[in-house]
Amino acid sequence: MQKQTAVNYSDGRFQPIIDKCDGCGRVVEQDGAQFCTSYLYPAEKWKLGICNFATHAKPEITVTTVRINPLKAAKRAAAKNK
């Protein structure tokens, strides 16, 4: 049987959140500072782009249209029908 203990965010293991974390649902406030409940070092999660734990930020999906040569499309369609 394991003994459950309360998490103390101000014990030095957890680092305070950065400005990109504002508005996230995983942020808790303790002793006047805000901490992430999911990750010890929130700044590290934002180094390569968006944090995968962020509940307030969604990745941007860009849709690009591709120009198809009508002659090649007609040849491909004719080849499929054979």
Domain housing 62? 10-81
CA distance 5 to 27: 19
**pLDDT grade, residue 5 (50/70/90)?**
low
Among 10, 17, 13, residue whose Cα is nearest residue 46:
17
Query: What is the three-state SS of 22-54?
Result: CCCCCEEEECCEEEECCCCCHHHHCCCCCCCCC
Inside any domain, residue 69: yes
- What type of residue is 23? G
The domain total for the chain is: 1
Inside any domain, residue 1: no
Q: Is the model more confident about 39 or about 10?
A: 39
Residue 55: predicted pLDDT: 87
Residue 26 CB contacts under 8 Å (≥ 6 apart), including other chains: 36, 37, 38, 53, 54, 55
Q: Model's pTM, two decimal places? A: 0.60
pLDDT over 60 (residue 12): yes
Inside any domain, residue 40: yes
**pLDDT tens, 56-79?**
888 788 888 888 888 988 888 888
Residue 19: predicted pLDDT: 92
**pLDDT grade, residue 2 (50/70/90)?**
low
